[in-house]
Amino acid sequence: MITVCGELVIDLIPTAPATPPSDEDSTPPPPQYAAFPGGNALNVAVAAARLGNVVHLMSRVGPGPFGAQLRSHAVRNGVAPDALLPAGEPVSLAVVELSPSGSPGYSFHTVGAADWQWTIDELDRLWPAGTRILHVGSISSWTPPGSAHIAELVRRVRHDGTALVSFDPNVRPGLVDDADAVRGRVAELRRAADIVKVSAEDAAWLEPGADLDDVAARWAAEGPALVVVTDGHLPLRAARPDGTVLQRQPPAVTVVDTVGAGDTFAAGLFSGLVRTGTLDRAALLALADGDLAALLDDAALAAALACSRAGANPPTLAELEAARS
User: What is the full DSSP assignment across 113-181?
Assistant: -GGG---HHHHHHHPPTT-SEEEEESHHHHSTTHHHHHHHHHHHHHHHTSSEEEEE----GGG-S-HHH
Find out whether 143 and 176 touch, Cβ atoms under 8 Å.
no
- pLDDT above 80 for 33: yes
pLDDT (average), residues 259-283: 94
> Does residue 91 sit in helix, strand or coil?
coil
pLDDT score recorded for residue 24: 65
Say which amino acid occupies 261: A
CA angle 291–49–175, rounded 5-degree value:
95
**Which band of pLDDT confidence, cut at 50, 70 and 90, is reported for residue 278?**
very high
- Parallel, antiparallel or unpaired: strands 104-109 and 92-98: antiparallel
pLDDT score recorded for residue 22: 60
- pLDDT above 80 for 174: yes
Buried b (16+ CB within 10 A) or exposed e, 295-312: bbbbbbbbbbbbbebebb
Domains held by the chain: number: 1
Q: How does the average pLDDT of the chain come out, rounded?
A: 91
pLDDT (average), residues 251-266: 86
Nearest Cα to 302, choosing from 289, 290, 319? 319
- pLDDT above 60 for 19: no
**Which band of pLDDT confidence, cut at 50, 70 and 90, is reported for residue 78?**
very high
Kindly state whether residue 325 falls inside one of the protein's structural domains. Answer: no
Domain holding 247, by residue range, is: 2-13+33-315
Kindly state whether residue 190 falls inside one of the protein's structural domains. Answer: yes
Number of Cβ within a 10 Å radius of residue 245:
16
Measured CA to CA, the distance from residue 179 to residue 194 in angstroms comes to 24
Find out whether 323 and 269 touch, Cβ atoms under 8 Å.
no
- Rounded to the nearest 10 degrees, what angle do helices 289-307 and 317-324 cross at? 110
Find out whether 165 and 97 touch, Cβ atoms under 8 Å.
no
Measured CA to CA, the distance from residue 203 to residue 197 in angstroms comes to 10
pLDDT score recorded for residue 184: 95
Bridge-partner residues for 34, per DSSP? 13
- The model scores a pTM over 0.85: yes
Q: What is the CATH number of the domain that holds 150?
A: 3.40.1190.20
Where helices occur in the chain by DSSP H, the ranges are 40-50, 64-76, 120-126, 139-142, 146-160, 179-192, 200-206, 212-220, 261-275, 281-286, 289-307, 317-324
% of the chain surpassing 70 pLDDT: 95
- Parallel, antiparallel or unpaired: strands 195-199 and 226-231: parallel
pLDDT (average), residues 219-238: 95
Kindly state whether residue 217 falls inside one of the protein's structural domains. Answer: yes
Measured CA to CA, the distance from residue 307 to residue 201 in angstroms comes to 17
